[in-house]
Amino acid sequence: MPERTVFYVSDGTGITAETFGKAILAQFDVQFRAVRLPFVDTVDKAHQAVRQINHTAEHEGRRPIVFTTLVNMDVLHVIQQHCKGMLLDMFGTFVHPLEEELGVKSHHRVGRFSDASKSADYQRRIDAINFALAHDDGQSDQDLAAADVILVGVSRSGKTPTSLYLAMQYGIKAANYPLIPEDFERQQLPPALLAYKKKLFGLSIQPERLAEIRQERRPGSKYASLENCRREVAAAEAMMRRAGIKWLSTTHKSIEEIATTILQELKLNEAVG
Amino acid sequence: MPERTVFYVSDGTGITAETFGKAILAQFDVQFRAVRLPFVDTVDKAHQAVRQINHTAEHEGRRPIVFTTLVNMDVLHVIQQHCKGMLLDMFGTFVHPLEEELGVKSHHRVGRFSDASKSADYQRRIDAINFALAHDDGQSDQDLAAADVILVGVSRSGKTPTSLYLAMQYGIKAANYPLIPEDFERQQLPPALLAYKKKLFGLSIQPERLAEIRQERRPGSKYASLENCRREVAAAEAMMRRAGIKWLSTTHKSIEEIATTILQELKLNEAVG
């Protein structure tokens, strides 16, 4: 049984509230049950949210944690006045000092994405997702000049999820290219990539972990055997070293950590925010 | 020229800091230049970060905004003592009141993802990404029983990015299935989907916007013509109404908003957090 219920209340998607709340709560050895309450953008919906939170408080006999990212002040006031949870007002806490620092008032507009279809930043992310899909697994050599980064590595080293994450989170155009037996025989990176050496980034992985992942996909195959995984990983790492490209091991890393490291290593770390 | 530089300093990836900081700063009509400083996990790196921030302060003649999500107290102290930016300590601000509320100390472990490869939650996300890719664009009818949601809609209505987002952010298994001329002739949803009606969710889009998107892909084609887009959208919406499935228009929505609405409508809104 969870020890505490946590609500994420937002007049937008609540993704910011949840991302932040999860990171904070991960600091505690307590089991939480999370409930998202997105699009709470009217006084009516605020009262509904309050009812749900207060019902939980009563039912569980302890007050829930309530993270809010509310920019609509009328909604916030309803929550502040009636909610029996522990209220953590993430926006209010930081917006006021920032208003003083910047010397301007915040405009209390809802949502990071309110004009999504018109925003250049958003369009860049969608284009990058399409680019990642069109250039997944070496599907296309076309347009590689447009790539911000080209990931290389053996099959199942983490290239596809990393490419998609770079696209979705940062609008980075990431192609990915598998290293295959033909490349190992030639002991050379795939010829299509030689013109783009500065954009290349290698992903490797411990052979034991790779064999595990491949076994799930093709149990009992030569492809998944530890011996073959060892050979491929050794050949791929040797090739990346010879080519002088940057690379990392994905074995103990999340896609978030892999993506962040790539941005840092290729100096793509500055972005208009 | 940007009016203010903002730093995101973290001993992990900094993604939480950036997500949150961006949402806050979007409340201000000020142009920001964002600089990510991830993996600041030693006192040495903290001093490096301070140098970079203070250099910017001097160079620009006003103090940068500095969002931190630091759990390493030694690192935080260096920043607190020496940094000439406006410090917004996102963790400290909320962790202390939570320690009181929960009656336990936070453990100051770095990173939401520190044991990524071992975490069930993380593995669920990776599996969901693989599922979305294997079930993109009606590629496979196999395993649809394992889907949490099956998105349907005309080509280019936003199904693929939404499926990938649901997978990446929430570990939700989303298949997606295009509605094509054969379906419109039959005036029936694709036969493979009939057994899964409760999991279906429709995406539609304004024909004008659809034509724009398709024109970029296949300029001058019948596929992209406004007339054809109008016909397909009308047929698709009629079909979704007849089938009694929930649907929304993606025209003015971001993938975050689409995904959040789907979770809400299909009552997938509660998650272990």
Size of chain A in residues: 273
Which whole number is the average pLDDT over B143-155?
95
Interchain contact, B16 vs A32, CB within 8 Å? no
Residues from chain B that touch A66, judged by Cβ atoms under 8 A, are none
Reply yes or no on whether the pLDDT at A249 is more than 50.
yes
Residues 142-161, chain B, touching A (beta carbon < 8 A): 160-161
Residue A273, pLDDT score: 40
d(CA A50, CA A81): 10
Interchain contact, A36 vs B271, CB within 8 Å? yes
pLDDT grade, residue A115 (50/70/90)? low
Interchain contact, B34 vs A270, CB within 8 Å? yes
The proportion of chain A whose per-residue pLDDT surpasses 70, expressed as a percent, equals 94
Average of per-residue pLDDT values in chain B:
92
Which whole number is the average pLDDT over A26-37?
92
Reply yes or no on whether the pLDDT at B3 is more than 90.
no
Are the beta carbons of B153 and B159 closer than 8 angstroms? yes
Residue B268, pLDDT score: 83
Q: Which residue of B has its CA nearest to A18?
A: B273
Which amino acid, A10? S
Interface pTM (ipTM) of the complex?
0.89
d(CA B33, CA A32): 36
Residue A111, pLDDT score: 56
Name the residue among B24, B108, B168 with its Cβ closest to that of A94. B24
pLDDT in tens, A151-209: 999 999 999 999 999 999 999 999 999 999 999 999 899 999 999 999 999 999 999 99
* Residue numbering of the annotated binding site of A for ADP: 153-160
Residue B270, pLDDT score: 63
Interchain contact, B272 vs A34, CB within 8 Å? yes
Interchain contact, B273 vs A113, CB within 8 Å? no
Q: Does B18 touch chain A (CB under 8 A)?
A: yes
Q: Does B100 touch chain A (CB under 8 A)?
A: no
The proportion of chain B whose per-residue pLDDT surpasses 90, expressed as a percent, equals 84
Inter-residue long-range contacts of B194-199, CB under 8 Å, 24+ positions, other chains counted? B195/B144, B196/B144, B196/B145, B196/B147, B196/B150, B197/B243, B197/B244, B197/B245, B199/B147, B199/B148, B199/B149, B199/B150, B199/B266
Burial of A48 by CB count in 10 Å (0-12 exposed, 13-18 middle, 19+ buried)?
middle
Residues 226-265, chain B, touching A (beta carbon < 8 A): 251-257, 259-261, 263-264
Name the residue among B25, B29, B161 with its Cβ closest to that of A273. B25
A133-165: burial string, b at 16+ Cβ within 10 Å, e else: bebbebeeeeebeebbbbbbbbbbbbbbbbbbb
The proportion of chain A whose per-residue pLDDT surpasses 90, expressed as a percent, equals 83
Which whole number is the average pLDDT over B88-99?
92
Q: Which residue of A has its CA nearest to B6?
A: A273
Q: Which two tokens stand for residue B64?
A: 């940068």
Reply yes or no on whether the pLDDT at B111 is more than 70.
no
Residue B1, pLDDT score: 47
Helix (H) / strand (E) containing B246: strand B246-249
Burial of B146 by CB count in 10 Å (0-12 exposed, 13-18 middle, 19+ buried)?
exposed
Interchain contact, A260 vs B28, CB within 8 Å? no
Residue B56, pLDDT score: 96
Residue in A71, A126, A257 to test binding to B, most B beta-carbons within 10 Å: A257
Distance from CA of B62 to the nearest CA of A (A): 10
Q: Does A97 touch chain B (CB under 8 A)?
A: yes
Are the beta carbons of A63 and A55 closer than 8 angstroms? no
Reply yes or no on whether the pLDDT at B260 is more than 80.
yes
Residue A142, pLDDT score: 85
* Residue numbering of the annotated binding site of B: 153-160
CA distances from B164 to A130, A173, A270, B156, B168 (A): 11, 16, 25, 14, 6
Lowest mean pLDDT among A60-74, A190-204, A218-232, B95-109: B95-109
Which amino acid, A126? I
The string of DSSP letters for A127-167 reads HHHHHHHHTGGG---TTGGG-SEEEEESTTSSHHHHHHHHH
Residue B141, pLDDT score: 85
Which amino acid, B50? V
Interchain contact, A102 vs B30, CB within 8 Å? yes
Q: Does B213 touch chain A (CB under 8 A)?
A: no
CB within 8 A of A18, min separation 6: which ones? Answer: A8, A34, A36, A67, B273
Q: Does A96 touch chain B (CB under 8 A)?
A: no
Q: Does B15 touch chain A (CB under 8 A)?
A: yes
Name the residue among A18, A104, A260 with its Cβ closest to that of B28. A104
Reply yes or no on whether the pLDDT at A116 is more than 60.
no
Q: Does A106 touch chain B (CB under 8 A)?
A: yes
Reply yes or no on whether the pLDDT at B58 is more than 80.
yes
Q: Which residues pair with B68 in a beta bridge?
A: B9, B89
Are the beta carbons of A239 and A151 closer than 8 angstroms? no
Task: Write down the architecture of domain B118-265 according to CATH.
Answer: 3-Layer(aba) Sandwich (3.40)
d(CA A63, CA A73): 23
Which amino acid, A25? L
Q: Does A169 touch chain B (CB under 8 A)?
A: yes
Residue B2, pLDDT score: 58
Reply yes or no on whether the pLDDT at B272 is more than 50.
no
d(CA A252, CA B117): 6
Q: Which two tokens stand for residue B184?
A: 């419109």
d(CA A270, CA A257): 17
Residue A251, pLDDT score: 94
Which whole number is the average pLDDT over B26-43?
93
Name the residue among B133, B270, B272 with its Cβ closest to that of A160. B133
pLDDT in tens, A221-232: 999 999 999 999
